[in-house]
Each structure stands twice: as structure tokens, then as C-alpha cells.
Structure 1
Amino acid sequence: MTEEEFDELAAGHALHALSDADERRFAEALAENPQWRDRVDAHAAAAAALAEVAPSVTPPAEIRAALLAQIAQTPQGEPQADPTMDALPEHPATDPVVSAAAAAPRRGWSRRLFTLAASLVLIAGLGVGAAVIVPQLLRSDEVVALDEVRGADDVQEATVEMDSGAEATAYWSEDLGKAVLVTAGMDDAGEGQTYQLWFVRGDTPVAAGVFDPEQGAATAPLEGALHEGDVIAVTVEQDGGSPTGAPTSDPILVIPTA
């Protein structure tokens, strides 16, 4: 079990929102990893703090109805589109940022919704704050990373068109040392293959993660720190990324940041 998966279980445990099966998984993981006890205590403290500031009230009908409708429309265990696109700045319908973020896969989506539903009684007690908190909880890590970079004072961007007609836009901030690539209309990498991101630093490629488009679109934060003058590149590699730590094919796109 990863630390991220354990965190989700610990949050549900603090809210008494886990199924019997997940409670067993939580207990077994904690027994195997006692060093994670601090995470359990932190989630318990957060739940207690929310309970103290939230008076006992019935959740507003409109929030409960909207949440239950979202749960009913979400196939459990399947990737889903981000339901909070209105949290992004306005763009034309053809903007690759909008289409990519809408198609970004949701990791652990069913558990997030389950935990969110269990948390509703706590959030509702915060009154109008629920209208802000609920969308924030539903936003994906990819969209959060994109918003962070695009909100930076020194944000820059560049768009390239690939031979296939697909477009890729890179957003980066040297102050933050972060970059995000957004694609639209991109073909699948192929059976047993994936796209790999690179920071090219002089003549040295530095691996920066892998991604797979969903219906041609992807929002892919680059792993690691962006350095001044880096070039962002993408190659096609085997599943999991290049086994050598260096590109095994020519880049299909290159975007200079200087």
C-alpha cells in the first residue's frame, strides 16, 4: 500500500466512514507501518477541529442533492472527467487546457467521493464555506498543479503543433521551478508504450515522468525542478518509462523555455 492510499484510508477512518473491508486494510497497513501513526493522529485532529467549529445541523438540501447526483453518475473504479472545470480561468471551447483537464483520469475517484460524502455533515456546518470546500476537494492533482503554475507572476507558455495535428502547450514558472504540459488531439502512444517527459539541460536529458492521454488529452505536471534554460521534450518509451534513464527514441515535441 502506498502512503497516498494509506492517507485516504486514514482520513476515512477519522470520519468513521470506512467500510469493514477498508477498516481491516487500514488496521493491517498501520500494523505493518507504525511510522505512519503520525498521519492517523493528524487526520483525527483535523476531524476533531472541524467537529468543534461545525454546529450540529442538517446538511443543506441543495449540497446533499448535488453530491448524491455526482456519486450516482460516477461509475465506480472508472476514470472520470474533472467535474469542477468552472474553477479554471475562462478559455475558448477549443482551448487544449480545458479539453485536457476535462479528460484527465481520476485516481482513487470512488474512494474520494465516498470520503467526501461521509464528510458532508462536517462541511455543511461551515455554512457558505461548503460551496468553496466541496469543489476544492474534487479537483485533481493535475488541475491543482496547472492552476498553481498559471497563477505564478512569472508564468510563461508556448504551444507547438505536432506532425499529427495534435497540439501541446507548456506552462512554466522559473520562480516556482515547475512546469506543466497540456496536450489536445494526441494519439495513444501504442501497445506497451507510454509518453515520457524530459527536461533537457544542455546536452543532458533529465527524466520528468510519464503520461498517457485520455481521449487525446492530458494535463501532465513535469516531475522534478525546472532550471533556467531547460528545454521540455517528450519521447515515446516502453510502459513505465525508459529503462536506461535516457531517451530511447527521438523526441516527438520540443519546447524551449528560454
Structure 2
Amino acid sequence: MTEEEFALLAAGAALGALSDDDQRAYRQALADHPQWASIADEDADTAAALAGLAREVLPPPEIRDEILARIDAASPDVHLENMAAPAEDGPTDGRDDPRRTGGSGRRWGRRGWFALAASLVLLIGVGTATVMVVQQTSQPAGIVALNRIEGAPDAQHASGHVQGGGPATLHWSVSIGKAVLVTGAMPEISRQQTFELWYMRGTAAIPAGTFDATGDSTSALLKPGMQPGDVIGVTVEQAGGSPNGRPTTDPILTIPTS
């Protein structure tokens, strides 16, 4: 078995797509060529990473037979009865049969075509996973944090109403250490102003970040530092936030957390 043939089997093994015979051939090749272990490890790591990005779905038991049937239909020159069978002997005049080699000098049986299909599935999965990761990282920080909070076992929320605007809800989780304010419509302010968040703790007001309203709904991630019993406040400040680290206007929203 060549290293290329092993790589095809390794892709199929990572996806659990090998027959019993191919699985034995795969293990024997791995024992005979321990230097190929890195190929198998890389495919296994890729498959594991993909599994962690999607919910578990058991493939239909007939999917292997369906793939093999399609391979047979697409490759009428291949007549091997099982995936583990060795490739047929080529022409004896020193030249490879172009129907089996595609001009590359290598014969393909059903094993090769099936493992190639598994490899393509693996590669497609990598592409899909990349898209998922890119989509997730392109989301606003407030949305990403809100999704994490909502999935936490200690997720909590409290609501209030913005003066001159709509409803607002604070979501937080102590275990995750994050808090997100979700607001409806906010009052109009000038370009030289911004909304600033505060942790109101007794007589102290601790800056918790600034945000701009975006349409009918805004998700603002608060800076770390929330403590039990804090009241979350929002004021209108000059662009960039309060110059002295304290509210310069009366709050347009307060939400007690206890």
C-alpha cells in the first residue's frame, strides 16, 4: 500500500466510512508504517473539530450502499465486488490502462473511489466549519455574549423602560461573567453624544462602557465588573463617554439586579 492509498483510507476511517475489510487493511498499514500515524491523526482531529461544531446526526445506514452504487454507476470500468479487493492487474506490456489510471499511472478500485468520496466529505465539512466560525466571529460582541448567557445554567434577566424610548432587558450570568443590555428604541441624540452604561453601587457609579443605538433593537455588552445587587444605569454623555468618569446627566434607564 502506498502512502497516497493510506491517506485515502485514513480519511474514510476518520469519518467511520470504512468496511470491515478496509478497516483491517487500514490498521495493518498503520502498524507496518508507523510514520504515517500523523496522517491519520490529522484526519481524526479534523473530524473531531467538525463534530464539535454541529449537533450529532446519525447517518442513515444505507448511505454507504448508496455511495457505492453511485460509484459503480459513474465508473462502469470498475467491477470489483468489494472495497477490500485488490486492484486488477494492469496490462502486461508495461503501460497502464488509461481507463483505470486517468493518465496518472495509478489504478482505482471501489476502495479508492469510496475513500475519495469520504475525503471530499471531510474537505467540504472543513469548508462549512470555516464558514460557521467566520459567521460567528463576524457577529457583534453583544450578540455572541447574549447567546452564551442564554445557554448558561445561571442565566438571569431583569427589565426596565427607557425614558423617551422603549423597553430594555438586562441579561447576565455570574458563571460566564458577562452582562448584556438589550434595548428597544432609544431616544434620539446628536452625533456628539453617546449612551453610557454604569454599575451603580451604593453612592458610586462605575463606568461600564458606551454604545450607540442601532435601529429598533440594540445589544450592548457591559464591561466586566458587575457585582450582585448592582443597579445598571444608562445616561447620555458626550461622544467617547463622560470626561470625568462620573455621570453628567440623570439616568434615562435604571435596572436593579436584585
Structure with max Cα Rg: 2
With the length of structure 1 as denominator, give the TM-score of the two structures: 0.49
With the length of structure 2 as denominator, give the TM-score of the two structures: 0.49
